[in-house]
Structure 1
């Protein structure tokens, strides 16, 4: 599998930015190490271009007629290799060369058909979603159930002027569009992949526990009533070392605190004190002094575990480096010559990925609350990824919530790479 062409640019006028991106894509497709016949395009734009979304898609489709399928969405920021564009007009594109029988584009207008009807078995899926969609968590879980592995990756649109998604397919891959041009709002859209498309994906957390892990022993919907058999509000105040007798101090502490929620038997707080990949971070949205309860932005059940946590830049950097290392270790062969090992290790950030890594491209979906402001400098988050994986083609966006497995996350990053076979 050859490298996927990718391009990114910023400009007040979208046509100028698109021209710069197209020049990058065409230049790469002329190089021997890059794919020359891609058919799937991934398109991410910042919300500055939201009103021009249909024109942008139409323009790219006309300039790249070989790309029969498109998917993507809008965000407050978009990501590229070693770069992020926050609060400025920009777009990021990657062209994937995949067997046409190994992927299908879907949307709310043309949902994914069952494997019995279509003859296509979904293995994994890249999913974009409108955060305003009712019962979104249930829809994500249902979508995961329709894949063989139960693994989704992606995120929620984060545009400030509307949550738009791109989904259009050619060669009969997608039906029912009618006069719709491929720009949607509401529900889910994306692309499902067959078993022949090999992916490696990891979730990186951005918070650090400030309490030990506790069991939820009583809950009423989204209201936590008891933790470890004690009133939930009393436990929260004790763990934060505050009291309602000093309400201003208590309110400030609670506002800065989040809840890390995890199912019983799943990967919670690790021995190292970090949050496991299964932990879903949620906001505390209220206190109930009468019932001594704590309201959170998710439903909870008795038997689940939680820890109180806070955003932590140092922990986020360390965890992102960890998941990048895990991906490297999984992709690199266990046995390699000394010369190959030296080439793989040398010049990481500036060199194209060594063939031993077998990386064709990457998708990175990060929380809109992360990025440069959280990591300390513009582009710092993407620089970590580049340093670990090399100069890989990368595309992505900053989301209002991240999707991985069958869960909806917050304050996380989801890094997925396309990889060739052994």
Structure 2
């Protein structure tokens, strides 16, 4: 059922008849508001992409005077819980008195040597953030997000990469009455609205911090003057058996966001995956390109670390801002039951720490959110957009 807050509400319905399910979830969300919605976000998990399209059209018709965006997913979040790989619809609605909401749809044009993104809204001085839902199969998400500062300045982007049970070709995006089968959709939030972001990467460092002393593309050749693979083997050999198991199940590396910090601990890094090793070159391949001189530190991730990280960040947010009204949650589809044994974990964490607020979102194939003021695409992350009554919002909390 919808959670009544007056200004924010959400609805969740589960059922194989997606149109009826969409109607139920939408009615729940809209009935929880004290007035008409200004912004509606919705998320649909279903087997048939055509039925997902019809369900999305139904949601949009039920909120004709609102800014509406949505996407398909392999799991949805709402009513304090997560639903994975089952037909379900989650709807989140908000009354944002005086806020300016500009929806948009992004497409790409291919030139001789690059993609050009078209459809971006014009920027204003009182823009606060943009919510972004992306089809990862057709849109150059990594390049667009990582270089967004060149076009959008310091505007935070938060959202996720949509997906579908049928995978490529089945992703559906929705914006103001239209169904999109590729590209990206979003909404720009401007004017008198207080928002902040929380980005929990959920990793713990192992071994020492090291400077990159030789690199080729995404291959780390040397760390602190020694072959990168030798450095990694040295670190792993010093770990206990439990941490070695974590290394085997998915080693990560953190790139320090502040090169001038005296120490680099958990929360000071942008996390990227370790993709493999090249024994002949004694190199380590990572999911990013870093420059010589950058500081890095290997990382591991497990449920306990991810749980602690998310709760600490949300607690810090609550201590600074106090009352929170609502939130959108974009959680990696590798979290949920796969990591925590429960699809409800991240939704419960948000409600545990920020209060019995309206929270909805989806399980994403990659999450978008700012770290240290820079927009990035993440994996295994929980990215949260928080709506607060505190007049000094517009902050980012990340680890």
Structure 2 residue aligned with 1:200, among 193, 196, 200? 196
Q: Offset at 1:135?
A: 4.5
Give the aligned length. 366
Instruction: Report the Cα offset of residue 315 of structure 1.
Output: 1.0
Specify the alignment match of 1:397 in structure 2: 362
Q: Does 1:411 align with 2:399?
A: no
Question: Any idea what the Cα deviations from partners look like across 1:333-381, whole Å, max 9, x if unmatched?
Answer: xxxxxxxxxxxxxxxxxxxxxxxx1x33101111111113312334133
Residues 99-138 of structure 1 mapped to structure 2, 5 A cutoff: 99=97, 102-109=100-107, 111-115=119-123, 122-133=127-138, 135-138=140-143
The Cα shift of 1:76 comes to 1.6
Deviation at 1:125, TM superposition (A): 0.9
Superposition CA RMSD, Å: 2.8
**1:209–1:275: 8 Å Cα contact kept in structure 2?**
no
Q: 1:226 aligns to what SS in structure 2?
A: strand
- Aligned partners of 1:318, 1:252: CA distance in 2, in Å? 17
Structure with the higher strand share, 1 or 2: 2
Equivalent of 1:298, from 288, 296, 299?
Answer: 288
Whether 1:38 aligns to 2:45 is no
Moved more, 385-394 or 372-381: 372-381
Cα distance in structure 2, aligned partners of 1:93 and 1:267: 42
Q: Please give the alpha-carbon distance, in whole angstroms, between the structure 1 residues aligned to 2:302 and 2:250.
A: 11
Q: Distance in 2 between matches of 1:241 and 1:259?
A: 17
Shift of 1:7: 0.5
Structure 2: segments with no counterpart, 5+ residues:
108-117, 239-243, 392-399
Per-residue CA distance 1:311-343 (angstroms, 9 max, x = gap)? 2111111111111112211212xxxxxxxxxxx
CA distance in 1, matches of 2:338, 2:81: 14
Q: Once the 2 structures are TM-superposed, how far is the Cα of residue 253 of structure 1 from its aligned partner?
A: 5.1
Q: Classify 1:28/1:400 alpha carbon distance in 2 versus 1 (closer, same or farther; 3 Å).
A: same
Tell me how far apart the structure 2 counterparts of residues 101 and 27 of structure 1 sit (CA, whole Å). 21
- 1:336 match: none
Asked whether 1:280 is paired with 2:271, we answer yes
**How far does residue 15 in structure 1 lie from its aligned partner after superposition?**
2.3
- The match for 2:217 among 221, 241, 252 is 221
- With over 3 angstroms needed to count, the CA separation of the structure-2 counterparts of 1:218 and 1:264, relative to structure 1, is farther
- The 8 Å contact of residues 121 and 148 in structure 1, kept in 2 or not, is answered as no
Q: 1:7 to 1:189 in 2, by over 3 A?
A: same
C-alpha distance in structure 2 between counterparts of 1:269 and 1:192, whole Å = 36
Q: Show the counterpart of 2:61.
A: 62
> Is residue 329 of structure 2 the alignment partner of residue 364 of structure 1?
yes
**Which consecutive segments of 4 or more residues in structure 1 shift more than 6 A?**
266-269
Query: Could you tell me which residue of structure 2 aligns to residue 80 of structure 1?
Result: 78
Task: Call closer, same or farther: CA 1:18–1:184 in 2, change over 3 Å.
Answer: same
1:49 Cα deviation after fit: 5.3
The higher radius of gyration belongs to: 1
TM-score by length of 1: 0.78
Change in 2 beyond 3 A, CA 1:138/1:266: farther
Native 8 Å contact 1:233 1:294 kept in 2: yes
Does the Cα contact within 8 Å between 1:108 and 1:188 map onto a contact in 2? yes
Q: Paired residue for 1:383, among 342, 348, 358? A: 348
Give the secondary structure class of the aligned counterpart of 1:197.
Answer: coil
Equivalent of 2:15 in 11, 17, 24: 11
